[in-house]
Structure 1
Amino acid sequence: MRIAYILAALLALAGAVLGGRAYIAPDSGVDGTLGAGLALAGAVAVTLGALVAAIPEIRGGWRGLLGTLLVLGAALTALAAWFLMKPAFAILMALALLGVVVALLVRPRRRLA
């Protein structure tokens, strides 16, 4: 289900924006820290990976491997955001995780032609 990957990418992009704000904003409490930078990098990686997974030509084992890496990346980024005490960022990444799981579980319908 390609739309679920797009939705996951949009949610991860919103998370990346919040992660970028946490990394850059001087009043965030975690500005410039390694943890905030890694959480930002994780959100960007999940965004790009979900966009790649939405490409229809990727099939079979590659899509499964990419989906597994996306699940792992979104889960660990949500956990990192939670440890950084950024609940909105953590919730967005958890929703991106849910979008990836839905995309992996729902198979696209084949057209009869």
Structure 2
Amino acid sequence: MFVMRTMLLVIVPSFFLFSLLASPGFAEDKSFYSPVIQVDADAHRILISTLGGIFWIDVPETAKPHIEKLPISGLVDFVVEIRDNGQAPLLKTWKVKSGETSCLHFDGKTCK
């Protein structure tokens, strides 16, 4: 019984520490190919849909002057940073695949 308890006291914390190493707490980049549903320039966010759901993407300072150039209903490949604590994803780049716009590619700093 003593050996079993000692093994549990060693194994359980080991699994806990391993799980922390296996899933670090840094942000992850993800790509979404989606139509633009709405651009909220006042709140600096973009509403998109993917896999039957809709969600907002937050826009960084560098992209704020350009978000109104996104074509509503246009198909766009968004790269976002997935954040923790229930925060909306943060936009990193976009490439407009269909729709009229003066900004086909936003690289995180400039529009082209």
Q: Which range, TM-score by smaller chain?
A: under 0.3
Larger helix proportion of the pair: 1
Larger radius of gyration: 2
Which fold has the larger relative contact order, with Cα–Cα distance below 8 Å and residues 6 or more apart in sequence?
1
